[in-house]
Each structure stands twice: as C-alpha cells, then as structure tokens.
Amino acid sequence: MKKITAPTMPEAMKKVRKELGSDAVILNSKVTYTGGFLGLFKTKQIEVVAGVDSADPVEQMSAAAIEKPLFKAPDVKGDLKLENEIKELKQMVHALSVNQSGYQDFPVSIRTMLKNLHEQDFKESWVLETGRMLHAKWENQSDKHDIPTWTKEHIQSSLKQLAHEGIDASKKYISLIGPTGVGKTTTIAKLAAKLVMEDKKKIGFITSDTYRIGAIEQLRTYAELLDVPVEVIYNREDFKTAADRFRDYDHVLIDTAGRNYREVQYVEDLMNTIDFNVEMQTFLVLSMTSKFKEMKAIFDRFNDMQIDGLIFTKCDESITVGPAFHMMVESKIGTAYLTNGQAVPEDIQEGSLKQVNDMIVKGVKS
C-alpha cells in the first residue's frame, strides 16, 4: 500500500500506475489542502491510497478488467464530482471484496461455483462449507472438472431427506396460509382445477378472505368456471356450517385472508375462525422473490400451526433460489407445489425431489 498526492486525480492515477503498476487498486482518495497563509491561498491536492494484492491478479480478475484500469478518472471539476468518484470507488472495492471474501484459498474452478452460489443468495456459511467439500473431492479425484455434478449431488443430499409431495388424498380439508400478495387465491384455483379436471374429485371452496377487496369475487369467478360451490366464513360457527354442507365432498379447499404477517392478531384470528384440528393438510405459501429473512419471519409467525408443506409461487419472477433452499432445509419441510405464472391450471407443478432439485440447480447455473 502507498499514499500518493498530486494536484489532480488524473495525475495521481499516473503516479499510481508508475509506482505500483497497472494492477494497483484504489482503496481511498480524498481532497487535502496544503500551504497558504492565515488560512488563505491554500493549494488543493488529491491524496490517493493505493495497493497491490499479493495474490495472482489473473485469477481474481477477468482479462478485460486487467487490460483496463479499475478507475477511469474524468477531469475533476469541483468537489461534488470528486465526491461522486470516491463513492463509486468505494462501491467497487466493496463489491470486489465481497465476491472474493473467503474464496481466495480455493482453486479457480471452485471459486467460480462459489461465486454463483453467493449470487444466488445462499448463506455464506453454507457456501464456504460447500467449497470445502468440493475442494476435498477436487484433491482426491482425477476428474477436476466435475464440480457442477458434485454441487448438484450436494444440494440433492440436503433435500432428499424432506417429503416433497402434493395433496394427501386422505385429507379432506386443504388450507393455504401465508401473507398477502403471495398468490394464495390463484394457487388454490390451480389446485381445484387439477382436482376437478384431472382427478375427477368433488370439491368445495371455503374462504375467510373478507379483508382484501375483490378477493371473494375472484374466488367466485374461478368457482363458476369449475362449477364448484363457495362458502364465505367470518367465524368458527360459519366454518362448522360450511363443513356440514360439504360433508359429502372429496376435498374442501380453504382460502385464508392475506394480511400483514407481522400482526400477531392475524394468526390468532385465523386459528379462531378455522378449525385446524379436522382432517386438515395445511400449506404455507411463500413467494420465491422474497429474501430468506422474510421467509423465515413468515414461517416463524405461522409456526404454531401444523405446516405440512411449502408452496413457492412466482418461480418465474425470481432471480435467486438460495432463500427457498435454506427455507426447506432449516424448516425441515419439503415443497408441495411450485407455481410459475398466472395461467390456471397450467402454471403449477407438484413438488418432487427431482422437480425441486432441478429448480435449485438450474438457478445456480443461470
């Protein structure tokens, strides 16, 4: 590392390249003032702190990045522009440090895979654990290019202990719970369509979603298309009445209200309205676009209820798969269904180890 001063940023960059080479990285820069008399006539200087990594830069950067300097400085005209340059430099250094942090001890091919996992929002501790596993195989086996296969097997080994399956035919009541905006009503319509059209089941709808504008009308529209009855409930007595009406039906699909999951009262109201002690299979609906912390907070809020499976919606809108992977592994609950669009009933797939594993692996390769 070296501190260099110059009248302008371009001149400072020339000195950096001359003294430290083209592989130097700018770590910090600031404006300083020297000389002057009684606080007047001071000379403005640019002070730059630069350094060269002791590791091989060829392994850490692409060829294009090496050919060009990390920072192309425009002419400095005013302190505001200089502050923007400094901000961009700090962001660049931070991004480089994040992408390389903890990975520099692994071979380049493994490092590339770990970077893919990092970008897919897998937990950093799990990424490093995976790196150690891959490195051990890499050292002990002759095929050094089989890292994607080893990674796929590692992911599958974490998921295969979980039950990935859809509706249990022995359960009469099927409830979908979760926060607002995750697509519970559309998902329940897809499930109903598959049960009616493919399995020839006699089903009914119960909805407690009386809070969201148009929710009941939306479900009734689907019900009319499928020729399925709907019961709207407001309390436990309404639920008992609806259950009695549907006593001769194969399945009853229950659409619950989507409200702010942070409200403890919401879950309590839900449990007071619906009798979850009957032959009930309950699926927690989560959006694939959510971060892991959000998924975990939602799961914790509903954890007092018996959750039999997870449904991940908006799979086509998400650019990361790590949060869903960790949600399954940490909750020890498998995936019942995956949805990837608004079409009813096409855009839904029943969960299976292969289906879930392929989704995760495809995300890592993207």
Domain residue limits at 270: 173-365
First to last CA, the chain: 37
Got the DSSP string for 124-157? HHHHHHHHHHHHHHHHH-S-TT-HHHHHHHHHHH
What is the per-residue pLDDT for 87?
Answer: 67
The model's pTM is: 0.70
Answer yes or no: is 165 within a domain.
no
Do 266 and 325 have their domain in common? Answer: yes
Answer yes or no: is 51 within a domain.
yes
Among the listed residues 206, 182, 313, 186, the one whose alpha carbon sits nearest the alpha carbon of residue 260: 182
CA–CA dist 209, 222 (Å, integer): 15
Among the listed residues 119, 124, 76, the one whose alpha carbon sits nearest the alpha carbon of residue 102: 124
Do 46 and 131 have their domain in common? Answer: no
Do 319 and 214 have their domain in common? Answer: yes
User: In Å, what is the CA distance from 327 to each residue of 9, 100, 108, 154, 310?
Assistant: 48, 26, 29, 16, 9
Interval 176-206: pLDDT, tens? 999 888 989 899 999 999 999 999 999 999 9
Do 341 and 197 have their domain in common? Answer: yes
CA–CA dist 18, 185 (Å, integer): 65
Answer yes or no: is 325 within a domain.
yes
Do 118 and 49 have their domain in common? Answer: no
Q: Which residues lie below 8 Å from residue 246, measured CB to CB, with a gap of 6+? A: 204, 206, 229, 231, 252
Do 273 and 186 have their domain in common? Answer: yes
Residue with tokens 């109201």: 269
Answer yes or no: is 208 within a domain.
yes
Number of structural domains the chain divides into: 3
Answer yes or no: is 168 within a domain.
no
Q: Kindly state the tokens that stand for 338.
A: 């995956």
Interval 299-340: pLDDT, tens? 998 888 899 999 999 998 999 999 999 999 999 999 999 998
Q: Phi and psi dihedrals of 167, rounded to 5?
A: -65, 135
Do 232 and 209 have their domain in common? Answer: yes
Identify the CATH number of the domain in which residue 206 sits: 3.40.50.300
**pLDDT greater than 90 at residue 345:** no
CA–CA dist 340, 219 (Å, integer): 19
Interval 54-90: pLDDT, tens? 554 444 444 444 444 444 445 545 567 777 777 666 6
Percent of the chain exceeding pLDDT 70 equals 81
Interval 266-309: pLDDT, tens? 788 888 899 998 899 999 999 999 999 999 999 998 888 899 99
Do 61 and 145 have their domain in common? Answer: no
What is the per-residue pLDDT for 283?
Answer: 97
Do 357 and 298 have their domain in common? Answer: yes
Burial of 305 (0-12, 13-18, 19+ CB in 10 A): middle
Burial of 220 (0-12, 13-18, 19+ CB in 10 A): middle
CA–CA dist 218, 201 (Å, integer): 22
